[in-house]
Amino acid sequence: MASDFNWAKADPNAAYFITLQAGRCGKVEGPPGVAKTQYHIQLAKKTGRDLILLLGSTMAPEDVGGIPHIALNEQFFRQLPPWWANRLQDPNCLVFVDEFTTVTPSVRAPMLTMFSDRRVGQCHIHPDNWMAAACNPPQWAPNASPLEKAMANRFSHYTWKENFDGFVQGLESGQANDFGMGDIPVLPEHWKGGMQKWGYTIAGYLRKNSNDRVSIPESDDDMAYPTYRTWHSLRDCLAAAESVSAPANIIHDIAHATVGRAAAGNFLQYIDAMDLVDPEEVLSGRMEFIFDKRRVDLAAVLMSTVVACIRRDYSEDRMVAAISLFCENIGKHAKDLVFTQLRNLVEARPAAVICLPKAAMKIMSDFGNTISPEVRARLKK
């Protein structure tokens, strides 16, 4: 997918910020005094979000789980949540747990629910809100301990990258507590359009590499590791990264932070070796795509990249070619896949283009007639 973002000016921690925007929990670890907290304060200001700052070293179990409260004329108690949890029921927040490794085990237990189920007591955290944490290495923080495997698996784990240029910029500005940030890519509204492509790509890899489906390391030093949860997170983060045309190093950082270095390395090699089809060759008619039922992932990747090509360079002929590929080629073999991707393709046309070409409308109509009522009802659920 095309993006106007200038990656030459990107902040060193851009991969981490993409993870947060994708709705996944991100954690950064680094030494004291390198602006981890200041960055999150500035991130909230720059994105117009309310910052909910929680200090792990001062939290008690009831600060997350709530306080039992007996209401009048009731035979049971409710969990009365803290004020900040009530705010999180609405969108546009950044939840930031600082000093994360100093959170005691009794507090981490209810935090599991907060980070995985997005719930605090009776309050449900709005899906728009970002969930972040930061810490020093456990050996450098008072009363700290490594994260339990269950808690670690809720996060993508990043090593904080110091931004010397930003530090100097703030140092010379004369402003208190002002560390300059590099540019941060902002996800476009359509960023979720790549989820299906990456879902099929990951599924194709895991079908062939069962050892990487779930692999829990014995060492406490390995925070990121592959499970069904983290592969699912990786799908979303890679779709987000692709929507802003993230370079290879960002893709690598996200994969390593989410499923661990071993599984990420194997998966990235798999991607590099995939025999992907050039979408421009197919749209121009110079190449015919041959559907292979054993490689549905290739069809899914092609459809996602075709949508990006149409969004970047629209013409009636290209749209007709794309819809023909979807409906008359891939649609003969994978109606479910085409049905879910057609909307992304139609929405890829410029806002000024109100109607699709007549030829494209006819192809879509003929394709719709091939879908049985039973399948149509199932797909609409």
Give SS3 for 273. Answer: helix
> Residue 183: beta bridge partners?
10
Residue type, 155: F
Report phi then psi at 124, rounded to 5.
Answer: -100, 125
Q: What is the DSSP letter of 8?
A: G
More confident residue, 293 or 3: 293
More confident residue, 156 or 105: 156
CB atoms within 10 A of CB 265: 15
Pick the closest to residue 82 from 106, 50, 60 (CA basis).
60
Give SS3 for 348. Answer: coil
Residues 317-349 have pLDDT tens digits of 999 999 999 999 999 998 888 987 888 899 889
Give just the sign of the alpha carbon dihedral 34, 39, 40, 42.
positive
- pLDDT confidence of residue 179: 75
Q: Mean pLDDT throughout 71-81?
A: 77
Question: Measured between alpha carbons, how far is 190 from 247 in angstroms, rounded to an integer?
Answer: 19
Least confident of 5-14, 72-81, 347-356: 72-81
Three-state SS across 291-322?
CCCCCHHHHHHHHHHHHHHHHHCCCHHHHHHH
- pLDDT confidence of residue 379: 44
Torsion of CA 202, 208, 209, 214, to 10 degrees: 60
Residues 118-138 have pLDDT tens digits of 988 888 999 999 999 999 998
Cα–Cα distance list, 165 to 29, 46, 171, 185 (Å): 20, 18, 10, 18
pLDDT above 90 for 300:
no
**Most confidently modeled range among 78-87, 192-201, 324-333:** 324-333
pTM of the shown model = 0.81
Least confident of 161-175, 188-202, 345-359: 161-175
The confidence band for 97, taking pLDDT boundaries of 50, 70 and 90, is very high
